[in-house]
């Protein structure tokens, strides 16, 4: 494939791709048999057992690069997960146990295989090298970057100015992430655009170790189901690869209308032309249903996508449900009474029973007459003016 087409494929949907001239040199050296395939690194910390659509945005780009013949290396951050990426955090992350990290990591390979050809990629666990660093090695690594530069990060700068604690282990995180690239001799690193500081730091660390620095590719951030923050396991606003098909469909139907276009672009990889813009603008409900159908089809198959679409439409008249309905994140089975008490839709169990008797509570457009257990994505209407979206998340 000629260079222009390669660059076109790489640049599709990306936020950053630089330095382009360094990529061109690496790629031409590969074409001229002066080096092996370009090594592309992507890292994921197993802080939760689920990968989600936010990860899919980068994994889809990795699939593009895999198809171009590049060597894909997935780094499972089983060591760095003990620290937790401080990027974008206003407070220190809670630490995970070794057992939690190992259990979460077990699920990643199966989920990654839903996007990438698992037989043609390398899977590395960064504990294999980071756990072997001696105190001397760590001092050597930390000597290659300054605290003043580290405090240029927006999150650290804000916490410093607001007298919020910044722990030493958090400062080590981007350095350990950079050392992953040093150890693997990465040519390219790909991730969300919130990783730009870390990736740029990595280039400097690679140069300090006498290596050619990696080329940076960042992808736009996918906003989560809350409509406010980036999709993240930490924020419980994510749509997981392993969600049950009906839950996945329902969560996508729950996103705000202003997010529809970005999901078409980043998840379905569709060009946002005027025809699609008009369709989304004039028929947001239909556009969202089509989006949900296509995404479920990606992770399951066409038959299941049709089944859950029909089931969803059978039990729920979406047009009656307001976009700004309150969202409740369901982590484990709960009774509808307990949920309504938590979100202040009812003030007491007596009020709940009274509303039941008045047939004033609907679940998925069906009137209920008892305190049922909720264990899936569910849409609730109480009276005429209270609406609740219950989004299921697995532990």
* DSSP calls for 197-244: HHHHHHHHHHHHTT-PPPEEEEEPPPB-TTSSSBP-TTTT---BTTS-
Last residue of a domain, one of 315, 337, 372: 315
- Which DSSP category does 72 fall into? E
Last residue of a domain, one of 315, 336, 363: 315
> Looking at the domain assignment, is residue 232 inside a domain?
no
- Which DSSP category does 42 fall into? E
- Which DSSP category does 70 fall into? P
The total number of structural domains that make up the chain: 3
Task: Report how far apart, in Å, the C-alpha atoms of 355 and of each of 166, 337, 345, 359, 379 are.
Answer: 49, 11, 11, 6, 17
Are residues 338 and 275 located together in one domain of the fold? Answer: no
Low pLDDT (below 50) residues in the chain? 89-90
pLDDT tens digit sequence for 184-228: 999 999 999 999 999 999 999 999 999 999 999 999 999 999 899
Alpha carbon distance 35, 26 (integer Å): 8
- Match 């609907």 to its residue by tokens: 362
The parent domain of residue 381 ranges over: 322-395
pLDDT of residue 96: 72
pLDDT of residue 90: 44
- Match 């198959």 to its residue by tokens: 301
Instruction: Give the predicted TM-score (pTM) of the model.
Output: 0.81
CATH of the domain at 339: 3.10.290.10
Are residues 68 and 209 located together in one domain of the fold? Answer: yes
- Which DSSP category does 58 fall into? H
Are residues 144 and 273 located together in one domain of the fold? Answer: no
Last residue of a domain, one of 268, 289, 315: 315
> Looking at the domain assignment, is residue 237 inside a domain?
no
Are residues 117 and 205 located together in one domain of the fold? Answer: yes
Closest C-alpha among 121, 27, 111, 38 to residue 75: 121
Are residues 264 and 156 located together in one domain of the fold? Answer: no
DSSP string, 287-344: HHHHHHHHHHHHHS-HHHHHHHHHHHHHH--GGGS-TT-EEEEESS-EEHHHHHHHTT
Alpha carbon distance 389, 253 (integer Å): 10
CATH of the domain at 56: 3.40.50.620
Are residues 247 and 215 located together in one domain of the fold? Answer: no
> Looking at the domain assignment, is residue 141 inside a domain?
yes
Alpha carbon distance 139, 175 (integer Å): 11
Alpha carbon distance 254, 232 (integer Å): 16
Are residues 271 and 294 located together in one domain of the fold? Answer: yes
Per-residue tokens: 145: 């970057």
Name 364's Cβ contacts closer than 8 Å, sequence gap at least 6.
315, 316, 378, 379
**SS3 sequence of 344-378:** CCCCCHHHHHHHHHCCCEEECCEECCCCCEECCCE
Are residues 165 and 288 located together in one domain of the fold? Answer: no
pLDDT tens digit sequence for 3-53: 999 999 999 999 999 999 999 999 999 999 999 999 999 999 888 888 999
Alpha carbon distance 141, 251 (integer Å): 43
Are residues 309 and 339 located together in one domain of the fold? Answer: no
Are residues 91 and 111 located together in one domain of the fold? Answer: yes
DSSP string, 235-292: TT---BTTS-HHHHHHHHHTS-GGGHHHHHHHTS-----HHHHHHHHH-HHHHHHHHH
> Looking at the domain assignment, is residue 238 inside a domain?
no
Helix (H, G, I), strand (E, B) or coil at 155: helix
Name 183's Cβ contacts closer than 8 Å, sequence gap at least 6.
129
Structural element, H or E, at residue 179: helix 168-184
> Looking at the domain assignment, is residue 234 inside a domain?
no
pLDDT of residue 320: 58
> Looking at the domain assignment, is residue 31 inside a domain?
yes
pLDDT of residue 325: 82
Are residues 53 and 179 located together in one domain of the fold? Answer: yes
Are residues 339 and 307 located together in one domain of the fold? Answer: no
> Looking at the domain assignment, is residue 228 inside a domain?
no
Task: Report how far apart, in Å, the C-alpha atoms of 304 and of each of 100, 241, 276 are.
Answer: 32, 15, 25
CA-angle at 42, arms to 158 and 30, nearest 5°: 125
- Which DSSP category does 34 fall into? S
């Amino acid at each position: 494939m000629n260079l222009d087409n390669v660059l076109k494929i790489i640049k599709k949907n990306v936020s950053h791709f630089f330095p382009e001239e360094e990529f061109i040199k690496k790629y031409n050296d590969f074409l001229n048999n002066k080096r092996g395939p370009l090594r592309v690194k992507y890292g994921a910390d197993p802080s939760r057992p689920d990968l989600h659509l936010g990860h899919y945005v980068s994994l889809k780009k990795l699939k593009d690069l895999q198809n171009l013949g590049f060597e894909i290396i997935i780094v499972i951050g089983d060591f760095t997960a003990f620290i937790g990426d401080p990027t974008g955090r206003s407070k220190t992350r809670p630490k995970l146990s070794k057992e939690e990290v190992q259990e979460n990591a077990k699920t990643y390979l199966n989920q990654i295989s839903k996007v990438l050809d698992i037989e043609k990629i390398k899977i590395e666990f960064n504990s294999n090298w980071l756990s072997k660093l001696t105190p001397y090695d760590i001092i050597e690594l930390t000597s290659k970057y300054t605290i003043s530069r580290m405090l240029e990060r927006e999150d650290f700068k804000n916490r410093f100015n607001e007298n919020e604690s910044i722990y030493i282990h958090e400062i080590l995180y981007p350095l350990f992430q950079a050392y992953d690239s040093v150890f693997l001799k990465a040519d390219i690193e790909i991730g969300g655009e919130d990783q730009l500081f870390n990736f740029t730091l990595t280039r400097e660390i690679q140069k300090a170790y006498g290596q050619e620095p990696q080329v940076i590719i960042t992808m736009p951030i996918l906003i989560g189901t809350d409509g406010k923050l980036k999709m993240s396991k930490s924020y419980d606003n994510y749509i997981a690869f392993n969600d049950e098909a009906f839950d996945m469909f329902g969560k996508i139907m729950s996103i705000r209308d202003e997010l529809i276009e970005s999901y078409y672009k980043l998840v379905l990889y569709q060009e946002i032309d005027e025809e699609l813009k008009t369709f989304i603008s004039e028929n947001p409900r239909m556009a969202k249903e089509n989006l949900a159908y296509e995404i479920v089809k990606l992770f399951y198959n066409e038959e299941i996508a049709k089944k859950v679409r029909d089931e969803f439409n059978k039990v729920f008249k979406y047009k009656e449900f307001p976009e700004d309905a309150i969202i409740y994140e369901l982590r484990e089975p709960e009774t509808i009474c307990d949920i309504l008490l938590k979100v202040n839709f009812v003030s007491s169990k007596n009020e709940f029973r009274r509303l039941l008797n008045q047939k004033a509570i609907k679940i998925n457009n069906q009137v209920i007459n008892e305190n049922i257990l909720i264990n899936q994505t569910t849409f609730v209407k109480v009276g005429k003016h209270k609406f609740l979206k219950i989004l299921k998340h697995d532990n």
